[in-house]
A and B are shown apart, each in its own frame.
Chain A
Amino acid sequence: MSVVLAVLLVATAVGAIAVVTCRDVASQAVVLGAYGFVLGALFLALSAPDVALSEVVVGSVLTPLLILLALVKVRGR
């Protein structure tokens, strides 16, 4: 269990840095969605299924969708 946790923790740090260093917003939204999944897995491993469910629906679906919609509005004319 502890190995799984360690791997997911490292993946979280890597994911966060990847989202921040990604300077193109469209791909950033995708990376953020993936980061949301990593967080969801981490929370599941931390025995927090409620939070994991929320993080996946919010972090991987809703948040990237909102960012893409905003991006279309800002750039797409």
Chain B
Amino acid sequence: MADAASPESAATLILLLPVAVPLLAAPLVAAVGRWLPRLLVDALALAVAGSVLGLGVALAVLSRHHDVVITAGGWGDVQGHPVGIAVVADPASAGLVALAGFVTALVLVYTWRYFEDVDAIWHALLLVFLAALSGLVLVGDLFSLFVTLELVSVVGFVLTGYRVEAERSVQGALSFAVASTVGGVLSLVGIALVYARTGELGLAPVGRALAAGPHDALVPLSLGLVLVGYLVKAAAVPFHFWTAGAEMVAPTPVCIALSGVMVTTGVYAVGRIYHVAYQPALPAASVRPTLLGLAAVTALVGALMSLAQRHFKRMLAFSTIAHVGILLVGIGLLSPAGAAGAAIYAVGHAGAKGALFCVAGILLSRFDTVDEGQLHGRGRPLRGTAAVALLGGLALAGVPPFGTGLGKAVTEDAARRSGLTWLVPVLVLAAALTGAAVLRFSLRCFLGWGKPAREPGIEGRPDEEPEPDPPGRLLISAWLLLALSLGAGVAGTAWGAAAGDRLVDGAAYRHAVLVGAGPIRHATAPAGWVWGGVPLAVAPVLVALVVAVLWLAAPPRVDVARGVLALLSPLRRWHSGRVGDEVTWMLAGTVVIGLALFVASR
């Protein structure tokens, strides 16, 4: 037993506080919030989010040499069998806790004295969301992962449908809710299969038990089923349909939380579950093709659909899907370097995408629309907003030294080193096209480039909900989020390398839970900017600029916009917005993933 004052002991004491503190504050503000001054409720919620950020940073520091492990309730083994729920912090999970705390804090700054109508329900829900995300990354148990996932879902779709008076907002929430529920059911079927085979629920004991065999169809198929729930949250194609709808219609601060943290958490869970619970039974070579195929399709579909949008929030939603593809490439490489790239990219993306959603919020509050055609040139007076939008677009394209650029460069390098060079153009294209879409929008809206007329073939989308105008704070949030993205690129190398290394080291995690934490090997090659990567970093930025400029300024004879939209029309028709279609494709994706994993494991 560690000395009471030692850092190890402190780490085990604070390990569950990122869950407990917001969960204590949430019912408090829900119950007495209506009698408290609004200022006090705002301040309390902000303090809680800030404390989760602090706890996340502290845990990342305390876990840098070895995992911090506890069992909830202090349970040990009974008859040589673990009966409690393991909770584990390492640089990857603690970093995500900190990210969730940071983003939630900024969302609270954004919504300071916003949503006046409904007591303090907004704050309570946001705090529960934060606790759920913290729980999801910290717990090391399949069923606890499922419960936290359901909690994330429930709060997620309530927040999405927050403005009930907007019909489309409710539709977006419904589509999100149905997809989440179906994903949850399939995940639980997978968990039941694992439990039947191993008699375990903890990730580490499951990994140990599955290694013993038999290595039959149950193992790969249960992995496929378990992952579905997380792939829905991650918005991987074809589990992504809810995302575009939900993030288009949800209140802008909710989009920042969903896009910045929730999807990332989903991708993280995919990596964690594989490396700890399945890696001993399913070698990386049999899982990698499926994950990378899924990643590439996600990146390309998201990028192409993003380019086809003129509704700014929907454009950002599809770009999130593309960036989930990039994250999944990093995780799917199943190598330390790939995971390091994904870790840095996750933070860089949360910042850049959050800043762009702040731009959407500013535009909504000024003009009651985020339609590209209607906003033509109207953004000219908004100099600061324009700067954020252009920088955000460049960040999505991966311009150095943003975290998105560094994360992408590290991932590309990892792909090349794994002999999978075909992934590099996929990443370049995903970054370039999403960057192009945002740059095109920004140039048209803030500089008045291109024609004010509507693009052919896209119907206008009226009846946008006006959002309240918290003038200065929105821009402050945007700059802070951009700073986060920049910080990830400038100073994220050490953390990213540690997080990536530990995420893929399932053996160390299992050892820490089952035997006790020992010292871990340190990141072999710290990922960083390299001069050789400069052309690859610049390429997507150039492509993005060229596409954006061509779209807006090409002579009428070569109508780029019309051509691209015509090419993309089958893909756009695929996104029919009908829940029956969406579930059908989700199930088709489940079958394909399951069978691909099964065939590769033979």
Q: In the complex, A touching B, CB below 8 Å?
A: no
Which residues of A line the B interface, CB within 8 A? none
Give me the interface of B with A, judged by CB distance under 8 Å: none
